[in-house]
Structure 1
């Protein structure tokens, strides 16, 4: 379980393509400072299991084909910057919202509208998860806990949502500088899915 508060910008330093998976080596001195085999680290919002912790503040993780297909991790290459977060501790503050690290789908950055102190970013919203997203609700974008500031639909792009990025988010995460057209991992608030399931069986 995570909170969607990015702790560190990491970097992919190696990628090994396997038959039905890939092994990534990611540099992240902060998140590996107390990590061990079997620990969970979110990489761009995807919960990965640490295989090995290496000298120099790096760790390796195996990513199966399904995860590569359902997230943007398959597009990562050596040199790619990634958002990193360690699993939440029970004695820590919940700074964002409850995040599982289970990607529900991917969206694409449609537009970026800067202002003096913040930037509004519009992201396309896949049809199958649009029903779980509400204005002023929480959504996780590449592992970042954000508040939905607006929802809408356009003929060309379909459903979309908007979030407003403060300077800290722009400076300390990959989402802050990602170009229009970049795919991003999306995880909706799990509570919405539980409510739907309970209502359907009620």
Structure 2
């Protein structure tokens, strides 16, 4: 499990495309400082398993299912990525519950800077929009953020906005966000469980 508090902005050093998979070598001195074989590290919000590590770098294998469902499919050598180690038992819970299981990919449709923050609007897939609420939590490329606005108007359909403080802009990949960029989205897992349980409860025992 993760919290969505990015520890380090890493860089993809190399990508090898394999049969229905890809192998990424990623530079991340901080997240590899105590790495072990089999550890989980979130890469742009995708939970991946360390298969090799050393000299401040680690290697992960990404299967076709993950490539198909995340923005990792479009990344190669030189791309910056947000990195977070799995939360340690007893650690500080600074963000919200993040599983590292991407629910879908959104598209940045506008970036509006101001003096003290930047507002980023992201088009959200229709099947995820029902889980997004104003002032609720959303994970964008592995970053735990608060939804500052939602809407459905315009050519992009469902959208959400997040307001980014200077620290988030400086320490994560969203600082270089541009219109048209694809980002990984993970909605609040509690909302999904509530929907599932409420739906099951309303139908059980009824003709």
Both structures adopt the same fold (TM-score exceeding 0.5): yes
Secondary structure at 1:22's aligned position in 2? Answer: strand
> What is residue 74 of structure 1 aligned with on the other side?
73
> What is residue 12 of structure 1 aligned with on the other side?
12
Q: Distance in 2 between matches of 1:178 and 1:162?
A: 13
> What is residue 45 of structure 1 aligned with on the other side?
45
Residue-by-residue CA offset, 1:166-193 (whole Å, 9 max, x unaligned): 0000001001212111000000000000
Residue-by-residue CA offset, 1:48-92 (whole Å, 9 max, x unaligned): 0000112x2000000000100100001111000000000001111
Q: Distance in 2 between matches of 1:176 and 1:189?
A: 23
With normalisation by structure 1, the TM-score equals 0.98
Secondary structure at 1:154's aligned position in 2? Answer: coil
Structure 1 residue runs of 5 or longer lacking an equivalent are none
> What is residue 35 of structure 1 aligned with on the other side?
35
Q: Distance in 2 between matches of 1:185 and 1:34?
A: 26
Q: Distance in 1 between matches of 2:195 and 2:3?
A: 22
Q: Distance in 2 between matches of 1:154 and 1:79?
A: 36
Q: Distance in 2 between matches of 1:64 and 1:147?
A: 30
Residue correspondence of structure 1 range 75-114 to structure 2 within 5 A: 75-114=74-113
Give the number of equivalent residue pairs. Answer: 201
With normalisation by structure 2, the TM-score equals 0.96
Q: Distance in 2 between matches of 1:179 and 1:72?
A: 14
Residue correspondence of structure 1 range 42-191 to structure 2 within 5 A: 42-54=42-54, 56-191=55-190
Secondary structure at 2:34's aligned position in 1? Answer: coil
Q: Distance in 2 between matches of 1:60 and 1:143?
A: 18
Question: Displacement of 1:94 after TM fit?
Answer: 0.4
Secondary structure at 2:174's aligned position in 1? Answer: helix
Q: Distance in 1 between matches of 2:51 and 2:62?
A: 11
Q: Distance in 1 between matches of 2:157 and 2:27?
A: 37
CA contact (8 A) 2:111 2:177 kept: no
- 4+ residue runs over 6 A deviation: none
